[in-house]
Structure formats: structure tokens, C-alpha cells
């Protein structure tokens, strides 16, 4: 997963486009986004009964892998919520086999966004991108029959300090490090080990449940 270097995001929910359709559940990306925007738990406003996706725009162009098939890109989708424009950042990641993973996050300013607790050395933007990815991954790990649909981070800690890196204003701008993030899944604690690799162009990271 790559964190965009300059977009302020607050992770509310992440959906996977490769998940099989379920009866009564959203069937398209637009349906999923509108369902998120209507969910009070996800920060939406269920009082509005008329919402549509009004505009879309590309924020980060397609970045193809060496094979020219897999790649990733980022778009902004704006929801018209009863006359109020609510922007979301939608990140696409196409795998080599053609499967397309999609994460959706409401876009907010850095002043509005909250950071996660604990000892993480990730900057606020990277924290929010990581949280969005973990929400998506943990929803997928729990499976479609799981009743719990909310996630929050309750603790973070550095397992392996920054190696071979550079720091500017206490923020890593080059190097690798490893952290443990503890996620609260409706009262159950789930630990993830996250491996960060950062450059001045952005940060990639991998997250796996700690067994």
C-alpha cells in the first residue's frame, strides 16, 4: 500500500471491490460510497434522503507496474448530500491477476483529522492512510458474516527503529521501520505488524495480523 504524500484523509471505512455481492448490499462503487455517506457510524448523515455522486476527478494518475497490467491510482469522488458537497478519496489498486481493490475515505482537512494514539513515528497523513488500509484489511479478515463493522486504533508502538533513514521535523523522509498497531474490533483487540518503507516521494507499507 502506498501513502500519497500530500492529501489529508480521515479513515472512516474501507470497502473491497473484489468482495462478492451480498443480498441487500451495495453492488457498485457508487452504491457503496452512498451507503457509507448515509451511515451515522461512518460519519455520514442518515437524515438526508437524497444523495448522489456529483463529480469525480483524478488526484494521482495511474502508476503502472513493470508488466503494464497491475497498477494504482487515486480519485476524488464528491457526494451531493442534500445540497452539501462531501468529498471522498477513492484509491484503486489493480493486482496482476486483474482483481481490483478499492478503499474509500472521507476527505477532511489536517485541522479536522485526528491522529492515532501511541508511539508511532508515522506522520498524520501516513497514520490516516494506514488506518484506512487496516480497516479494509480487517473487515476482509473478519469475513462478510461478521457483525462488527466498526474499527479504531487503540495503541501503536515501534518494534524496529528507523533504519538507514533521514528525519525532517521529527518525520521520517527515507528509510524503513516496523510498528505494531492494536485495533479494537468491537471490544476485541487485534494486533497488526506494519512494515513501512518511506522516500521523499511517498511511503509504502505492508500490514499482517500478528499471530
Number of alpha carbons in the 13 Å side-chain half-sphere of residue 179: 24
Are the C-beta atoms of 172 and 48 separated by less than 8 Å?
A: no
CA distance 113 to 45: 18
DSSP string, 155-185: EEEEEEEEEEEEEETTEEEEEEEEEEEEEEE
When pLDDT is cut at 50, 70 and 90, the band that residue 163 belongs to is: confident
- How far, in Å, CA of 175 to CA of 170, rounded? 13
More confident residue, 75 or 167: 75
State whether residue 96 is helix, strand or coil. Answer: coil
In the predicted model, what is the mean pLDDT of the chain?
78
Residue 11's φ and ψ, nearest 5 degrees, are -75, 125
C-beta of residue 35 within 8 angstroms of C-beta of residue 52: no
Close Cβ partners of 45 (under 8 Å, ≥ 6 residues apart): 37, 38, 81, 82
Task: Supply the pLDDT for residue 166.
Answer: 78
> What does the pLDDT read at residue 124?
82
Question: Which is higher by pLDDT, 14 or 183?
Answer: 183
C-alpha 14/C-alpha 37 separation (Å) is 12
- Give dist(CA 105, CA 91) in Å, integer: 9
The predicted-structure confidence for 59-72, as pLDDT tens digits, reads as follows 888 877 666 556 78
DSSP 8-state class, residue 137: H
pLDDT band at 144 (very low <50, low <70, confident <90, very high): low
pTM: 0.52
- Residue 64 confidence (pLDDT): 73
- The span from the CA of 109 to the CA of 104, in Å, is 16
Amino acid at each position: 500500500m502506498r501513502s500519497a504524500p500530500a492529501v489529508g484523509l480521515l479513515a472512516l471505512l474501507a470497502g473491497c471491490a473484489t468482495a462478492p455481492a451480498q443480498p441487500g448490499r451495495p453492488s457498485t462503487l457508487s452504491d457503496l460510497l452512498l451507503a457509507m455517506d448515509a451511515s451515522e457510524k461512518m460519519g455520514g448523515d442518515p437524515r438526508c434522503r437524497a444523495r448522489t455522486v456529483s463529480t469525480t476527478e483524478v488526484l494521482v494518475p495511474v502508476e503502472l507496474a513493470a508488466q503494464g497490467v497491475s497498477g494504482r491510482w487515486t480519485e476524488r469522488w464528491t457526494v451531493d448530500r442534500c445540497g452539501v458537497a462531501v468529498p471522498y478519496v477513492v484509491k484503486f489498486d489493480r493486482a496482476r491477476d486483474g482483481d481490483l481493490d478499492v478503499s474509500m475515505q472521507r476527505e477532511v482537512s489536517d485541522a479536522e483529522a485526528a491522529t492515532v494514539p501511541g508511539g508511532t513515528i508515522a506522520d498524520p497523513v501516513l497514520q490516516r492512510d494506514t488506518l484506512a488500509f487496516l480497516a479494509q484489511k480487517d473487515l476482509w479478515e473478519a469475513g462478510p458474516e461478521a457483525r462488527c463493522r466498526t474499527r479504531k486504533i487503540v495503541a501503536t508502538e515501534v518494534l524496529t527503529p528507523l533504519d538507514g533513514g533521514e528525519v525532517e521535523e521529527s518525520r521520517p523522509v527515507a528509510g524503513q521501520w516496523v510498528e505494531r498497531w492494536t485495533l479494537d474490533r468491537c471490544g476485541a483487540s487485534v494486533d497488526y505488524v506494519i512494515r513501512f518503507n518511506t522516500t521523499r516521494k511517498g511511503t509504502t507499507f505492508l500490514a499482517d495480523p500478528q499471530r
